[in-house]
Structure 1
Amino acid sequence: MDALELYDDHARERVVPEPPKRVDAPERTPFERDRARVVHAASSRRLAAKTQVVGPQSDDFVRNRLTHSLEVAQVARDLSRALGSHPDIAETAALAHDLGHPPFGHNGERVLADVAIECGGFEGNAQTLRLLTRLESKTVDADGRSVGLNLTRATLDACSKYPWGPEDARAGKFGVYAEDRAVFSWLRDGVPVGASGQAPPRRCLEAQVMDLADDVAYSVHDVEDGVVAGRVDLTRLEPSSVWATMREWYPSELVDVPDDELDDVLGDLQAVGSWPHAAYDGSRASLAALKNLTSDLIGRFCGAVQHATHAAGPGPFVRYEADLVVPRRTGLEMLVLKGVAAHYVMQAEDRLAVMARQRELLAELVALLAHRGPDALDRAFADDWHAAADDAARLRVVIDQVASLTDASAVSRWEALRGPRVASRA
């Protein structure tokens, strides 16, 4: 059966019905059209100038949010195809998964979460839903209000990495603000209900594929970037120090994992045939060896998940007919790689100083924009400000504006509002 046939009219529905395209246009499936809309969105282009781990201006090799998203999309598409679900849905969710992230990566996200408390908080995944259904306008409803890109229900649901609100946040993660509940309820319509009569916060299989692809890419590629930058030497790791960092960064995931098990997991990774036995030296041979390692690790993780998922049931592996199965050992292997990047890259002393300055700048930018109001906002956000009913709604507009900025445009906007006398601090 063709994968498209596994998705019914309900899965293909859009908030605003759209007539068929003119007959001389290329014929595309609804999910191909969704993918094209995300690819051509301005928010996607801005990802090229947003931090993944280190700033995009700091090195020509390191990944930015856009290149990371492209790599996540490739992993998601291949895994989705192998499982028999529609690859365009998982790929689109992967392309969109970081659209809501603000300047300076997770560092900026933490700042906005603190300053946005009075308007319901901030979370990159909730901001992604807001972009797709409101801020990144392609279609308007009968009243002239933006419905965002007007994606299909199946695609929007696949983009919901955390399908619950801030009241149910887990480790600070959630996927919808209070003011976006209506469209969230629409996209979650039809989710199987549990014994209590309430729809559980379950993710569709395509969202699970997107999330796994993000974990795979994040764990492998951040280590690769760290190796090339000279911050990580895979031949001289200090496991006890890495485990200590991991327990600070990922406490809930390591509750029942002793250090000796982490030692075993690292040993399994080091037994991969392409794991380096000599320090990276920047030569083409060394680059090729590193690329072989990243390829082998991605194949190792995805292969293990594909095998476990097929072994768990007959499928079909679409929407709510099945769940992705990630073996415990595979999850720990990815977590160990994340720990290596966290220890040697994210918490390096020079990075901590830069991150502190970024937090100060972003918090001050929010305050300056809130004080100046619509005159300091882009036209679309100025319109939102004028339509806002109260101070909380106006603060949300300011947060939307700041989250839309790139690293460089956040600095330049701050400089313009604050004055050139403090530009050197950025």
Structure 2
Amino acid sequence: MDQGSEQTDPRAVRRDPVANAGGFTDLATSPFRIDRDRIAASPFFARLGGVTQVVSAGGAGLLHNRLTHSLKVAQVARAIAERVTTGDDAVLVDKLGGCDPDVAEAAALAHDLGHPPFGHLGEQTLDRIARHRFGLADGFEGNAQTFRIITTTDVRGPSAIGLDLTTAVRAAVLKYPWLRLHHPAPHPSEMAVPPRGAGEPDEAPGTGAAKFSAYATELDDFEQARAAFAGRVEGWQQTVEASVMDTADDIAYAIHDLQDFHRIGVLQHAPVAAELGEWLEHAGELAALDDETLHAELRRPGRSLERVRRRMHVKDAWIVDDDAFAAAVTRVRAELLDGLLAAEFDGSIEAEQATAAFSANWTARLVDGVVVLASPSTRTGHVSLRPAQWHEVQVLKFVHRRFVLLRPDLALHQRGQAGLVSSLVDALDAWLLDRDEVSRLPRRLHDLVELARAEYTELARSAPELLVGATGEPVSGPDAVRGLARGRAVVDFVASLTDKQAVTLLEALSGRAAQPWSDSFVL
């Protein structure tokens, strides 16, 4: 898009265009750079330095946290955006609504703002609590929480409601552009091949889309952000800038977590070599196994990778190719086993160089594989990867999942974290229900209750169908509305904590703290 037209581009319209209201001053003049700066200056962004990426952020500085992950995603997103806006792709990109590198970078910086303490584990726990305990039909989802932060609960924009970001950036944050249950109609989950994330989770039928990017409380902001792209992309499709952010997230995730766990000695050469080598040497025999036998033999090398290949055929028939998959396994084995894992990480210059080379080489290769698609499958966005690189990302992510995420010692750690989150919600909810102590609530929690009460009161009046979950039971009456508001406020509050703050707050609330808690725990 022509930089000179930013001020009049409909994508740059803000919800509240009043400049410098309340003494608020921006350093930049480009509206998209203003957005990027506001996100980077947000305390919700700063707190990501204390939020889990895979395991809890510690003091050693060896592992990525959500902040360093977001910075790397932003770096990759900007590189992709600059590539797709030049050369042969530029005309198509402009037709689809444009792609400004500042917008893509801003969306990448913002994309994990909604992650609660303890990462995806905390997300799953809060979702169960929100739906089962508080009756919130749209539960909790990190992407939807991000959108709630930038449009509602952060107060650093001129209007003091959200960040007053441009339409383009708000739309670019919508990785899954639909609500969990009710919007749009027909819902993307009803499509013959639902978009990635739109289908219901196998373990929770009737709960709506597994992934989504807005709650019912932010429907007006959602619709406004998407309206500017009507006729450019389908209602269920990401904008080009959202697709850039999503692709960059996949690339960064596929690479840097492998580095992390090599550094601390968790990712070992022998088991990875056995898995990849066994599949390559006996691919034909493994393909001939029936599903029951394959499942029974999953602990044997090569079987887990074969199961991944079969799942790809079921879910991603639009791109999966057995030759490309075999080539990807071959490349990953060569560069991971003969490169990164060839020697134990010992902190030496050679070890650091090998780690840096692995990251740089893979990032360059994957970014070089970016392609813009005029008519993509429902399973991908307009910005995707060529088949070779797409398969390589799947194999890299498999290695991470199989040899890190599925480790029993990590599961033990995470079960404890899930219990901590549940106990913290219980303690805060009990405080809210204690009439003698409610006046001494943390101010942030009190304000969140008032905000949610106003939101749910208005929804119950104007769109009560949005408050109804899979059971179809209507929500009516002030007590029901207050219950929803209390639940959303507690979830908002807990989701805004760092890992350490969550631990420390629970210690204080349970009487285990040695002294009155003085650490700042509000945003």
Q: TM-score, normalised by structure 2?
A: 0.70
2:359 alignment partner in structure 1: 294
Residue 153 of structure 1: how far off its partner (Å):
0.2
User: For the pair shown, which has the larger CA radius of gyration, 1 or 2?
Assistant: 2
| Aligned pairs (5 A) from 1:208-357 | 208-234=243-269, 237=272, 238-239=274-275, 253=312, 255=314, 262-272=325-335, 275-276=339-340, 278-282=342-346, 283-305=348-370, 308-309=371-372, 323-357=382-416
2:118 alignment partner in structure 1: 104
Find out whether 1:175 has 2:226 as its counterpart: no
Q: Cα–Cα, structure 1 residues 140 and 377, in superposed 2: closer, same or farther, change >3 Å? A: farther
Q: Is the 8 A contact 1:233 1:279 kept in 2?
A: no
Counterpart AA for 1:265: A
Pick which of 238-247 and 392-401 moved more: 238-247
Find out whether 1:186 has 2:224 as its counterpart: yes
Count of residues in Structure 1 that have an aligned counterpart in Structure 2: 404
* Alpha-carbon distance in structure 2 between the residues aligned to 1:403 and 1:188: 26
Pick which of 132-141 and 360-369 moved more: 132-141
Counterpart AA for 1:173: K
Find out whether 1:121 has 2:158 as its counterpart: no
Pick which of 164-173 and 344-353 moved more: 164-173
Tell me the C-alpha RMSD between the 2 structures: 3.2
* Alpha-carbon distance in structure 2 between the residues aligned to 1:413 and 1:175: 28
1:72 alignment partner in structure 2: 73
Residue 92 of structure 1: how far off its partner (Å):
0.6
Where does structure 1 differ by over 4 angstroms across 4 or more consecutive aligned residues? 1-4, 24-27, 240-254, 256-263, 271-274, 374-377
Q: Cα–Cα, structure 1 residues 36 and 421, in superposed 2: closer, same or farther, change >3 Å? A: closer
* Alpha-carbon distance in structure 2 between the residues aligned to 1:249 and 1:109: 25
Q: Cα–Cα, structure 1 residues 394 and 304, in superposed 2: closer, same or farther, change >3 Å? A: same
* Alpha-carbon distance in structure 1 between the residues aligned to 2:387 and 2:441: 47
Q: Cα–Cα, structure 1 residues 25 and 376, in superposed 2: closer, same or farther, change >3 Å? A: closer
Q: Is the 8 A contact 1:133 1:148 kept in 2?
A: yes
Residue 337 of structure 1: how far off its partner (Å):
1.0
1:161 alignment partner in structure 2: 175
Pick which of 278-287 and 104-113 moved more: 278-287
Specify the SS of the correspondent of 2:241.
Answer: helix
Specify the SS of the correspondent of 1:45.
Answer: helix
* Alpha-carbon distance in structure 2 between the residues aligned to 1:247 and 1:37: 45
Q: Cα–Cα, structure 1 residues 278 and 249, in superposed 2: closer, same or farther, change >3 Å? A: closer
Q: Deviations over 1:206-241 (max 9, x none)?
A: 000101111000000011111111111357513266
* Alpha-carbon distance in structure 2 between the residues aligned to 1:62 and 1:418: 30
Residue 5 of structure 1: how far off its partner (Å):
3.8
Pick which of 340-349 and 43-52 moved more: 340-349
Q: Deviations over 1:281-319 (max 9, x none)?
A: 3221122012111111111111011xx33xx57xxxxxx
* Alpha-carbon distance in structure 2 between the residues aligned to 1:110 and 1:277: 32
Counterpart AA for 1:186: Q
Residue 254 of structure 1: how far off its partner (Å):
5.3
1:33 alignment partner in structure 2: 34
Structure 2: segments with no counterpart, 5+ residues: 86-98, 182-188, 190-197, 202-209, 280-298, 375-380, 433-437, 454-480, 515-523
Identity level (%): 34
* Alpha-carbon distance in structure 2 between the residues aligned to 1:368 and 1:390: 18
Q: Is the 8 A contact 2:11 2:228 kept in 1?
A: no
Counterpart AA for 1:10: P
1:319 alignment partner in structure 2: none
* Alpha-carbon distance in structure 1 between the residues aligned to 2:500 and 2:339: 36
Q: Is the 8 A contact 2:27 2:34 kept in 1?
A: no
Pick which of 224-233 and 208-217 moved more: 224-233
Specify the SS of the correspondent of 1:331.
Answer: helix
* Alpha-carbon distance in structure 2 between the residues aligned to 1:25 and 1:162: 30
